[in-house]
Amino acid sequence: MIVMKFGGTSVESAAAIARVAAIVKAREDRHPVVVVSAMGKTTNKLLAIAAAAIKGPREEYLRQIHDLRDFHSREARQVVPLEDRAALDRFLDEHFQELTELAKGLAVLGELTPRSIDAISSYGERLSSFIVTQAFRHSGMETRHLDSRDLIVTDKRHTQAAPLFPQTYARLAATIPPLAAKSVIVMGGFIAASEDGVTTTLGRGGSDFTASIVGAGIGAEEIQIWTDVDGMLTADPTILPGGHRVKTISFAEAAELAYFGAKVLHPATVLPAIEKSIPVLILNSRRPDVPGTRIVAERVHCENAVKSIACKRKITVVNIHSTRMLMAHGFLRRIFEVFDRFETPVDMVATSEVSVSLTIDNPARIEEVLAELRQFAEAETERDQVIVCLVGENIRYTPGVARRVFNALEGINVRMISQGGSLLNISFVVAEKDLRAAIEALHAEFFSELDPAVFERNEAVHA
């Protein structure tokens, strides 16, 4: 068995779903379990409906619901056979009636709770998984639709629920293998349910996480994440187009890249797969012949020191200084107690005897944090910063990497640097305005020569 996850852009339209059907049909002999995201931007539209219901007027959220139903009906009717249209219409009628009643309830309450957010945002995957199931049948596959809420069991932390793995794995192992032996299984990602059956969601990147959980639960041969890119690249294509494809990378490297901004993979995705040593493939649904990137548990030998460059944008640097803390203990403890109290995670830290600089990526409560810090230290912020991260298993074994970084960045002000927190990366902070120049310089320095066993060169950009 294999798990195949298709993201929102891979199922955004009838044409996209038809491509997915062809991809899955070509792998039908491997007994695929297919996990799908909501179609296109459906989740955003559902949340917009919820916001409109709370703000009013009634006509606005009803119009948005009507438009969303029309979209799903229009695309679905192009891939669902005529004999199944009645069942499709009944399904859509039932779910959009439920959605309408839910929106009316929100309008009465006048507030959106985490539980309500989960309830309303679950409709995207519930709709897409049913439509994809019908489309697969139309393409000649024996198909079975499963509701992920019957299989993925979580705690009650709505909008970012944590799976209860023993119960979840038991349900998956008992349910899916017997069915997958005879049918292609289709289920929605992102959605789950608490032990008492209340709908929950797994948060950002939740469909990837679902695929990994399912793969681990059924002992899959591999987990395929189908996206709209050719795999992991040596640089973010939105900053530096034309990076080289990374053929193989370790779980540790992939998780590090994901944490530091590589959008192709959510960090949590790799966790269940690591525990079960199941390979994860990143593939392109628009170019299914491209081999993509294979993520494996063991270290991947590579002649290059660096595998890829990632960046985390919209970073705020917090500078804290207090001469009163000279030779005193407990300074760091007091600082981090403040950030903990206001639930503000910290990424990078640089310290001296009386000063601490650190970075955060969520400044929502920064004014409260600063007010607390200023009770015992001077504190100020620098906005519009970026963490640039070079990732590679070989960084730990290769002398002179930091020297090469600073030589490449000559003329660019490096605000902070960190090496040692992870043996897999060198991270540093630059201003947003210097990001493109920094990535270009580092890419030229570390990827002018490539290990052909690990990289596929993009000749169009780097001859």
Q: What is the DSSP string of 210-235?
A: HHHHHHHHHT-SEEEEEESSSS-BSB
Distance CA(89)–CA(94), nearest Å, equals 8
Banded model confidence at residue 422, pLDDT cuts 50, 70, 90: low
Q: Which one, of 329, 310, 322, lies nearest residue 390 by Cα? A: 310
* Dihedral sign from CA coordinates of 120, 129, 210, 312: negative
Q: Does the structure show a pLDDT above 60 at 48?
A: yes
Q: Are 226 and 281 in contact (CB under 8 A)?
A: no
Helix (H/G/I), strand (E/B), else coil: 183: coil
Q: Which residue has the higher pLDDT, 463 or 204?
A: 204
Distance CA(338)–CA(280), nearest Å, equals 38
Q: What is the pLDDT of residue 463?
A: 35
Q: Is the pTM of this model over 0.85?
A: yes
Question: Which whole number is the average pLDDT over 223-240?
Answer: 91
Residue tagged 């309303």 (tokens) = 120
Distance CA(307)–CA(442), nearest Å, equals 12
Q: Does the structure show a pLDDT above 50 at 462?
A: no
Q: What is the pLDDT of residue 264?
A: 75
Q: Does the structure show a pLDDT above 50 at 461?
A: no
Q: CB neighbours of 355 closer than 8 A, spacing ≥ 6? A: 319, 320, 321, 322
Q: What is the pLDDT of residue 420?
A: 62
253 exposure class (CB count in 10 Å sphere: 0-12, 13-18, 19+): buried
Q: Does the structure show a pLDDT above 70 at 325?
A: no
Helix (H/G/I), strand (E/B), else coil: 145: strand
Q: Which residue has the higher pLDDT, 294 or 351?
A: 294
Tokens of 341: 């109290």
Helix (H/G/I), strand (E/B), else coil: 21: helix
Longest dimension (CA), the chain: 80
Distance CA(295)–CA(312), nearest Å, equals 21
Q: Hey, what domains does the chain have and what are their CATH numbers?
A: 2-228 (3.40.1160.10), 308-456 (3.30.2130.10)
Banded model confidence at residue 107, pLDDT cuts 50, 70, 90: very high
Q: Does the structure show a pLDDT above 80 at 322?
A: yes
Could you read off the pLDDT of 332-376 as tens digits, one per residue?
Answer: 889 999 999 999 999 899 887 778 999 999 999 999 999 999 999
Q: Does the structure show a pLDDT above 90 at 81?
A: no
Q: Does the structure show a pLDDT above 80 at 206?
A: yes
Question: Which whole number is the average pLDDT over 182-193?
Answer: 97
Q: CB neighbours of 247 closer than 8 A, spacing ≥ 6? A: 231, 291, 293, 294, 453, 454, 455, 456
Q: Does the structure show a pLDDT above 60 at 326?
A: no
Q: Are 274 and 251 in contact (CB under 8 A)?
A: yes
Torsion from C-alpha of 245, 202, 148, 61, nearest 10 degrees: -100
Q: Does the structure show a pLDDT above 90 at 62?
A: yes
Question: Which whole number is the average pLDDT over 135-143?
Answer: 95
